[in-house]
């Protein structure tokens, strides 16, 4: 298939683009490098540099596009609270422009990068797709609004779409890993301590109602996540919007993550307890039963040690590359 991947220079977008190319698809990456890295665009992808709003018509007008995978987005929860306008514009408005361009050019298959943040504070874990959606920050609210728009476009205009609601994506694949200009995620931050870039990791609260008092999250390997996108694309049906959670179904506490990073890196990784971070739910664990049953998705890299080991190799290699470049 010939596919457009928006945000193909970002962490998730670049891995998915690489996996699609490996599977034999032609990939056109659209990215404006506002947060993505030029080096992350996979070899073999055709790159269109620019904002989706400016370039999407030209790309789709070329014809022959079978589907779009839409990753380009703002994705920092804290930033979304301080700058909601940027989030509503860059996430919702840009997605609507994309949906309308697809409609105009008769492109009827979409895979959308959604998030567990659409659910907010869960009433029950593991979280199933029928759980109430009550996002607790603008980031989650923008993604939920896009999911709603996609549903109505599917019903009214025959779009076939899948929204994948990611839990805590981590790990690396080949040369592709997490390398954000502003890092807020636990595993890459802990690994930065092991690299000597940071003195210590702050644990945001140790008085949560969990087994060791720190928050529990469901970490999913980026490669398992990418596989789900390929399955979703193949299963899209005109007029249908499917929504699937993507996680490993296992929960690990912040302390368990830090301990695993110590084992993998051999570094003592000093940690200090800090106040809770605003907006953090105590426990987030996905039920991915629906995608396993309906699409036959079968995650194989669910061990936290495997996820951290892959992330560590990427972080170390990146450190060596940037050191060598100096």
The reply to whether 246 sits near ligand UDP by the rule CB under 6 A is: no
Kind of pairing between the strands at 219-221 and 109-115: unpaired
Q: Are strands 283-284 and 216-217 parallel, antiparallel or unpaired?
A: parallel
Which of 215, 235, 291, 311 forms a contact with ligand UDP (CB under 6 A)?
A: 215
**SS3 annotation, 186-222:** HHHHHHHHHCCCCCCEEEECCCCCCCCCCCEECEEEH
Check residue 74 for interaction with ligand UDP (CB under 6 A).
no
One of 119, 139, 173, 219 is an active-site residue; which one?
Answer: 139
Q: Of the candidates 97, 158, 204, 267, which one interacts with ligand UDP according to CB under 6 A? A: 204
Binding of ligand UDP at residue 103 (CB under 6 A)?
no
Stretch that binds ligand UDP, among 64-72, 104-112, 119-127, 198-206 (CB under 6 A): 198-206
Site string for ligand UDP, 286-315 (x = CB under 6 A): ------------------------------
For residues 25 and 221, which CB has a smaller minimum distance to ligand UDP in the complex? 221
26-31 and 46-49: which strand pairing?
A: parallel
The residue whose Cβ lies closest to ligand UDP is 215
In whole angstroms, give the CA distance from residue 198 to residue 16. Answer: 30
We find the least distance from the C-beta atom of residue 227 to ligand UDP, in angstroms, to be 21
Could you say whether residue 254 binds ligand UDP (CB under 6 A)?
yes
Note whether 241 binds ligand UDP by CB under 6 A: no
Q: Report how far apart, in Å, the C-alpha atoms of 276 and of each of 186, 204, 215, 232 are.
A: 14, 4, 10, 36
Per-residue three-class SS string for 124-137: CCCECCCCCCCCCC
Residue 81 touches ligand UDP, criterion: CB under 6 A: no
197: contact with ligand UDP by CB under 6 A:
no
98/304 with CB nearer ligand UDP: 304
Spatial separation of the C-alpha atoms in residues 108 and 106, rounded to whole Å: 6
Q: Is 162 helix (H, G, I), strand (E, B) or coil?
A: strand
Among 277, 294, 300, 321, binds ligand UDP (CB under 6 A): 277
In the list 34, 152, 155, 184, the residue contacting ligand UDP (rule: CB under 6 A) is 184
Candidate list 201, 220, 226, 291; residue touching ligand UDP; CB under 6 A: 201
Q: Which residue has the tokens 């990427």?
A: 314
Query: Binding residue for ligand UDP (CB under 6 A) from 47, 125, 128, 189?
Result: 189
Concerning whether 139 is annotated as a catalytic residue, the answer is yes
Residue pair 15/222 in contact (Cβ under 8 Å)? The answer is: yes
Please state, in angstroms and rounded to a whole number, the distance separating the CA atoms of residues 227 and 224. 5
Phi-psi region of 64 (alpha: psi -120 to 50; beta: other; left: phi over 0): left
Dihedral sign for Cα 28, 22, 265, 282, please.
positive
Nearer to ligand UDP, 88 or 204 (CB): 204
Name the nearest CA neighbour of 291 among 163, 150, 135, 115: 163
Residue nearer to ligand UDP on the CB measure, 228 or 254? 254
The residue (of 161 and 193) whose beta carbon lies closer to ligand UDP is 193
Tell me which residues are annotated as active site: 139
Q: Which residues would be at the binding site for ligand UDP (CB under 6 A)?
A: 168, 184-186, 189, 201-204, 215, 217, 254, 277, 280
């Amino acid at each position: 298939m010939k596919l457009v991947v928006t945000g193909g220079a970002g962490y998730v977008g670049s891995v998915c683009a690489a996996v699609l190319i490996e599977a034999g698809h032609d990939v056109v990456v659209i990215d404006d490098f506002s947060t993505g890295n030029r080096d992350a665009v996979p070899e073999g992808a055709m790159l269109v540099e620019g904002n989706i709003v400016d370039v999407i018509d030209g790309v789709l007008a070329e014809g022959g596009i079978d589907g779009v995978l839409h990753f380009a987005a703002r994705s920092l929860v804290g930033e979304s609270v301080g700058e909601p306008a940027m989030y509503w514009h860059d996430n919702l408005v840009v997605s609507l422009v994309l949906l309308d361009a697809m409609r105009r050019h008769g492109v009827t298959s979409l895979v959308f990068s959604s998030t567990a943040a659409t659910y907010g504070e869960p009433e029950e874990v593991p979280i199933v797709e029928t759980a109430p959606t009550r996002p607790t920050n603008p980031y989650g609210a923008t993604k939920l609004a896009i999911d709603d728009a996609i549903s109505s476009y599917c019903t009214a205009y025959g779009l076939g779409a899948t929204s994948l609601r990611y839990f805590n994506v981590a790990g690396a694949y080949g040369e592709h890993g997490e390398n954000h200009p502003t890092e807020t995620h636990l595993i890459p931050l802990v690994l930065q301590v092991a690299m000597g870039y940071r003195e210590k990791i702050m644990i945001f609260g140790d008085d949560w109602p969990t087994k060791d008092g720190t928050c529990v999250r469901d970490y999913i390997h980026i490669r398992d996540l990418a596989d789900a996108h390929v399955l979703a694309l193949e299963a899209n049906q005109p007029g249908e919007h499917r929504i699937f959670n993507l996680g490993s179904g296992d929960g690990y506490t912040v302390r368990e993550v830090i301990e695993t990073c110590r084992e993998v890196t051999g570094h003592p990784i000093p940690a200090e307890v800090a106040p809770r971070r605003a907006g953090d739910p105590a426990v987030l664990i996905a039920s991915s039963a629906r995608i396993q049953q309906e699409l036959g998705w079968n995650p194989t890299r669910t061990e936290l040690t495997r996820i951290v080991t892959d992330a560590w190799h990427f972080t170390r290699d990146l450190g060596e590359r940037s050191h060598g470049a100096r």
